[in-house]
Amino acid sequence: MSEQRPINVLFIASEAAPLIKVGGLGDVAGSLPKALRKILPAKMKGRALDVRLVIPFHSAITQRLDSLQLVAAFFVPHPKGKIAARAFQTSVEGVPVYLIEGSSILSDQSVYSSDPRVDANKFIFFSLAALEMARAISWPVDILHANDWHTAISVYDLKIRRPQDPFFKETKSVLSMHNMPYMGAGSESVIYEFGIPECTCHGLPEWARNIPLPLGMFAADYLLTVSPNYANEILTPQYGCGLQDFLNSRKETVAGILNGLDETKWDPNSDPSIHFNYGPAQLNIRKKNKLALQTEFGLDKDENIPLLILISRMDQQKGIDLAVQGLRLVQDLDWQVIFLGTGDPIIEAACRSLEVELPNRVRAAIRFDLNLSRRMYAGGDVLLIPSRYEPCGLTQMIAMRYGCVPLARSTGGLKDTIVDDSENESNNGFLFEEASPEDFATTIRRAIEVFLNRKSWQLLQVNGMKSDFSWEKSAMEYSMIYQKLLGEEA
Ligand code: GLC
């Protein structure tokens, strides 16, 4: 009976760890498909989930893969003549992965370029090619699950094809938004060049009718964000990027599912890049990592001085300027801070100038250094996350796993994962409301006061270390949405 065929999910993304990772999306695309494939058919009315990942064959991937199989050579429609594409298959941790190759995915490009047209050309080609590939390998797609603006056009194109294309007639679509303000603006002419029909898109504001993300949002059968709180926030003018009215009009098909953390990859008990491994019952061992970190950065070696850390892409979104200004307001207190990250030169410069101003207690490591980040999680006392908005955020979860207490702005997924309430037995961090240096500073004072009380601090650390951030629960929630769309509610 057809009921017994697995539910086929084509998971399409611009990046996926460990093959290629630039940001948080890469972590999610690298771990969610694996978690979904682990759901037992017994929990799915007898149907397993056959989730397959498709990503562009970025040049950075080329050198690393030796076990590739060419599975399809096909064409992507284009008004000026169809464009040849090829799909190669590999497998990563049990997940089948397709890599799409074609002239628009040039071999000398980085994953994301600063030129919107170059990116538009690559990702719109890729979005259309993923659909053509499914047809070429005769793999009926039950659920097309796209992510962010880069792949949103696949969802829009699906909606256009569906009525007259028997292969996609029954395919349902889900679009996950990991960072809504990045909509793919600048792609307008490329959309037109690919012959993608214009959208009358009732309900979408006019400015949004030829931009990839809004088109995908319009077309998707289900819209998801990466935390429940962010899903509520985008319904408001403050976070809705001008699309809040549209989102409110389809509120019943908008939801937020919290990202998980690949807990095997982030475990202070076994992490080979930290000096001393430890678990929740060995916080005294953890202290040695702090002293090692202070030594590494030439800071005073003193376990009683709170060591603040900030690990982030240096982007306006992340509110690092609020932290830099806020720290100036608490100079009367004893603390040290280490910044790690790269990005916007203005933000990098702000971190460097604080280092010049307060050379005894500030260090700015302006680079991308994964191993250092692990040593920082293992040795820092407080992770600062002053984000202006945060669809989910991964660093707070990593920090908690490592016994580093998060101090974050109360927004998006940060609010869903951090409990700041001394009466609550899950209390595990500090939250501040306003995106202002003053509110940040007040909360630093509060955190340092608790830090000085060893027992209370350890409770926060242990609560964080014991929090469950595994993918299992979230994967079940995704599967329920897939089933709902297929009319197979469990
Ligand atoms: C984006 C968001 C971040 C989220 C990640 C993965 O990078 O900014 O909040 O955790 O995507 O979903």
Encode the chain in three state secondary structure. CHHHCCEEEEEECCCECCCECCCHHHHHHHHHHHHHHCCCHHHHCCCCEEEEEEEECCHHHHCCCCCCEEEEEEEECCCCCCEEEEEEEEEECCEEEEEEEECCCCCCCCCCCCCHHHHHHHHHHHHHHHHHHHHHCCCCCCEEEEEHHHHHHHHHHHHHHHHHCHHHCCCEEEEEECCCCCCCCCCHHHHHHCCCCCCCCCCCCHHHCCCHHHHHHHHCCEEEECCHHHHHHCCCCCCCCCCHHHHHHCHHHEEECCCCCCCCCCCCCCCCCCCCCCCCCCHHHHHHHHHHHHHHCCCCCCCCCCEEEEECCECHHHCHHHHHHHHHCCCCCCCEEEEECCECHHHHHHHHHHHHHCCCCEEEECCCCHHHHHHHHHHCCEEEECCCCCCCCCHHHHHHHCCCEEEEECCHHHHHHCCCCCCCCCCCCEEECCCCHHHHHHHHHHHHHHHCCHHHHHHHHHHHHHCCCCCHHHHHHHHHHHHHHCCCCC
Distance of CA 165 to the CA centre of its chain: 33
Query: Which residues neighbour 399 within 8 Å (Cβ) at sequence distance 6 or greater?
Result: 377, 380, 383, 405, 406, 464
Task: Say yes or no to pLDDT of 204 above 80.
Answer: yes
Please compute the mean of the pLDDT values over residues 100-126 and round it to a whole number.
90
CB of 24 closer than 6 angstroms to any ligand 1 atom: yes
CB of 229 closer than 6 angstroms to any ligand 1 atom: no
In DSSP terms, 407 is beta-bridged to: 384, 430
**Rounded to two decimals, what is the model's pTM?**
0.95
Q: What percent of the chain has pLDDT over 90?
A: 90
Comparing 104-108, 216-220, 286-290, the range with the smallest average pLDDT is 104-108
Q: What confidence score (pLDDT) does residue 116 get? A: 86
Task: Say yes or no to pLDDT of 362 above 60.
Answer: yes
Looking at the domain 7-260+471-485, which fold is it?
Rossmann fold (3.40.50)
Task: Say yes or no to pLDDT of 31 above 90.
Answer: yes
Domain edges within the chain? 7-260+471-485, 283-465
pLDDT in tens, 134-160: 999 999 999 999 999 999 999 999 999
Q: Which two tokens stand for residue 229?
A: 């709180």
Pocket test residue of 392, 395, 414 for ligand 1, highest count of atoms within 8 A of CB: 392
Distance 179 CA to ligand 1 centre (A): 6
Pocket test residue of 28, 178, 229 for ligand 1, highest count of atoms within 8 A of CB: 178
Task: Say yes or no to pLDDT of 11 above 80.
Answer: yes
- For the CA of 390, the closest atom of ligand 1 is 9
Please compute the mean of the pLDDT values over residues 181-202 and round it to a whole number.
93
Task: Say yes or no to pLDDT of 65 above 80.
Answer: no
Q: What confidence score (pLDDT) does residue 1 get? A: 43
Q: What confidence score (pLDDT) does residue 3 get? A: 53
CB of 101 closer than 6 angstroms to any ligand 1 atom: no
**Mean pLDDT of the residues in the chain:** 95
Distance 391 CA to ligand 1 centre (A): 6
What does the alpha-carbon distance between residue 319 and residue 371 come to, in Å, rounded to a whole number?
24
Pocket test residue of 14, 150, 179 for ligand 1, highest count of atoms within 8 A of CB: 179
Distance 178 CA to ligand 1 centre (A): 5
- For the CA of 413, the closest atom of ligand 1 is 9
Residue 284: pLDDT band with limits 50, 70, 90: very high
Task: Say yes or no to pLDDT of 190 above 50.
Answer: yes
Q: What confidence score (pLDDT) does residue 2 get? A: 46
Distance 197 CA to ligand 1 centre (A): 30
CB of 318 closer than 6 angstroms to any ligand 1 atom: no
473 vs 36, 117, 256, 394, 485, CA distance in Å?
Answer: 10, 39, 13, 16, 19
The closest residue, in CA terms, to atom 5 on ligand 1 is 24
Task: Say yes or no to pLDDT of 66 above 90.
Answer: no
pLDDT in tens, 443-452: 999 999 999 9
CB of 391 closer than 6 angstroms to any ligand 1 atom: yes
Q: What confidence score (pLDDT) does residue 63 get? A: 54
Q: What confidence score (pLDDT) does residue 106 get? A: 79
Task: Say yes or no to pLDDT of 238 above 50.
Answer: yes
- For the CA of 148, the closest atom of ligand 1 is 11
Distance 113 CA to ligand 1 centre (A): 19
Please compute the mean of the pLDDT values over residues 123-140 and round it to a whole number.
98
Distance 175 CA to ligand 1 centre (A): 14
CB of 35 closer than 6 angstroms to any ligand 1 atom: no
- The answer to whether the beta carbons of residues 147 and 15 sit under 8 Å apart is no
- For the CA of 394, the closest atom of ligand 1 is 10
Q: What confidence score (pLDDT) does residue 198 get? A: 84
Distance 285 CA to ligand 1 centre (A): 32
Pocket test residue of 316, 387, 394, 415 for ligand 1, highest count of atoms within 8 A of CB: 394
CB of 394 closer than 6 angstroms to any ligand 1 atom: yes
Architecture of domain 283-465: 3-Layer(aba) Sandwich (3.40)
CB of 199 closer than 6 angstroms to any ligand 1 atom: no
Q: What confidence score (pLDDT) does residue 487 get? A: 93
What does the alpha-carbon distance between residue 161 and residue 249 come to, in Å, rounded to a whole number?
24
Residue with tokens 């829009």: 156
Q: What confidence score (pLDDT) does residue 333 get? A: 98
Please compute the mean of the pLDDT values over residues 168-187 and round it to a whole number.
97
7-12 sheet: strands from edge to edge:
69-76, 83-92, 95-102, 49-56, 7-12, 143-147, 172-177, 222-225, 254-256
Q: What percent of the chain has pLDDT over 70?
A: 98
Residue 45: pLDDT band with limits 50, 70, 90: confident
Distance 24 CA to ligand 1 centre (A): 5
- For the CA of 176, the closest atom of ligand 1 is 12
Same fold, 7-260+471-485 and 283-465: yes
The closest residue, in CA terms, to atom 10 on ligand 1 is 393
490 vs 25, 38, 186, 285, 337, CA distance in Å?
Answer: 29, 17, 42, 46, 49
pLDDT in tens, 394-410: 999 999 999 999 999 99
Residue 13: pLDDT band with limits 50, 70, 90: very high
Residue 327: pLDDT band with limits 50, 70, 90: very high
